[in-house]
Amino acid sequence: MTDKTYNGWTNYATWRVNLEMFDCFDVAEFLGLDLDGLSQYDLGDAFKVYAEDLIISETPEGLAQDYALAFLSDVNWYEIASHKLEEVAA
């Protein structure tokens, strides 16, 4: 089995989406909520919906949009959420 990790992340897709979409992202502002008790699963799901909505709204329907959405299916949303929650706690 080949190691598919990338720069310390689960895979390239997770690293790239975190870098391009969430690197300087203010989680509290994004949610407009108190983060106490927020699970990484709920935050990961919110990030996934945000990324999908952004791609759908910013790209025309067709092959490029389909590939972009398919790329998102490889993202470990919970890893990004966990990383963001750790940043907030620090």
80: exposed, middle or buried (C-beta count within 10 Å: 0-12, 13-18, 19+)? buried
Could you tell me where the DSSP H helices lie in 18-76? 27-31, 40-58, 63-72
Could you tell me the pTM of the whole model? 0.86
Domain contains 4: no
Q: Which residues pair with 6 in a beta bridge?
A: 9
Residue 7 lies in a domain: no
What's the whole-number mean pLDDT along residues 8-31? 89
pLDDT score of 27 more than 90: no
pLDDT at 35 over 70: no
Average the pLDDT over 23-27 and give the result.
83
Residue 2 within a domain: no
Task: Determine, yes or no, domain membership for 5.
Answer: no
Q: Write the pLDDT tens digit of every residue in 46-86.
A: 999 999 999 999 999 999 999 999 999 999 999 999 998 88
Q: How many CA atoms lie within 13 Å of 70's alpha carbon, on the beta-carbon side? A: 6
Q: Is residue 25 assigned to a domain? A: yes
Range of the domain at 51: 12-89
* Domain total in the chain: 1
